[in-house]
Amino acid sequence: MPWAKDIKRFAALPGLTAGVLAGLLLTVPLERLAGARFDPKPEQAPLDVARLSDAELETLALDLLSTLNGRRGQPAARSSWGRAEFDPRRVHRGMDNARRLLPLAKRLTLQSLRGSLKSDGLSRERRLIASVRRVVLDPGLGNAAAVSERDLTTIGIGPEYAAYLTADEEAMLVLGHELTHVAARGGRLYDFIESTSDVARRFADLALNAVQKEELVCDFTGAQVLKRYIALRPTARPGPERFSSAFGYAPRSERLAHAWQDFCASYNGDPEDGEHLSEEQLFRILPGLDPRLKALIPDDATSTRLCR
Q: Let me know if residue 184 belongs to a domain.
A: yes
Q: Rounded to an integer, what distance in angstroms lies between the CA atom of residue 86 and that of residue 194?
A: 38
- Enter the pTM of the model: 0.72
- Do strands 134-137 and 145-148 pair parallel, antiparallel, or not at all (unpaired)? unpaired
At 60, the amino acid letter reads L
Measured distance CA(179)–CA(237) in Å, rounded: 26
- Whether 22 is in a domain gets the answer no
Q: With respect to residue 298, please indicate whether it lies within any of the assigned structural domains.
A: yes
Element (H, E) at 245: helix 239-246
Burial of 186 (0-12, 13-18, 19+ CB in 10 A): middle
Low-confidence ranges of the chain (pLDDT < 50): 1, 4-18, 20, 24-42, 71-84, 263, 265-269, 271-272, 304-308
CA distance 59 to 20: 15
In a domain, 74, yes or no: no
CA 53 to chain centre: 27
Residue 24 lies in a domain: no
Is 91 contained in some domain? no
200 belongs to a structural domain: yes
In a domain, 179, yes or no: yes
Number of folded domains in the chain? Answer: 1
Tell me which DSSP letter residue 167 carries: S
- Domain holding 172, by residue range, is 2-11+80-85+97-128+165-302
CA 210/CA 66 separation, integer angstroms: 36
